[in-house]
Amino acid sequence: MDRTDILVRISGKGQFKINSDILDKINEIDNSIVTLIENYSRGASDHKTTQKDLQTKLTQMISLITSNGQPLDVEEIVKSDTIIPDSDLFLEEATKIFKGEGVISST
C-alpha cells in the first residue's frame, strides 16, 4: 500500500483520499477500539458504556477522515484500501470487525 495516498471508504458516506499522517491518527483510534472491544469481551466494561465509547471513537475516526481527506467523486470507481464502518455500528458487529490489527493494517 502506498503510504502517501490511501483510499478509505466510510460505509454510507463515500470514499476519501487521505495521507499517511491522517492514516496514523486513524490507526491510533482503530487500535483503541480493538482494546475497547477486548476489554468488553473480558468483562472489564459493561455493554452500555462500551457501546457509547465505540460510537464516540468511530465518530472521531470518521471526522478525521472527512475533515482532512479529499472526497472522491461518486462516479469514480476505485478499490478502497480499507473500509470504516459508520458510527452507528452495534457493539456485537464491532466484535467481529475490530480484532487483531483492527480495520487499519500496520503494514
**Smallest Cα–Cα separation from 88: which of 51, 60, 63?**
51
State residue 106's pLDDT score. Answer: 65
Give the DSSP H/E element, type plus range, for residue 80.
none
State the cell numbers at 90. Answer: 452495534
Q: Give the pLDDT of residue 2.
A: 43
For 28, how many CA atoms within 13 A lie in the half-sphere containing its CB? 7
- pLDDT tens by residue, 75-88: 888 899 999 999 99
* Nearest residue to 15 via CA among 98, 89, 91, 74: 74
pLDDT given for residue 41 in this prediction: 92
In the chain (107 residues long), the average pLDDT of successive 10-residue segments reads 76 94 94 96 92 97 97 89 94 92 78
Q: Which three cell numbers stand for residue 44?
A: 472489564
Predicted pLDDT of residue 55 = 97
Q: Which pLDDT tens digit goes with each residue over 65-74?
A: 999 999 999 8
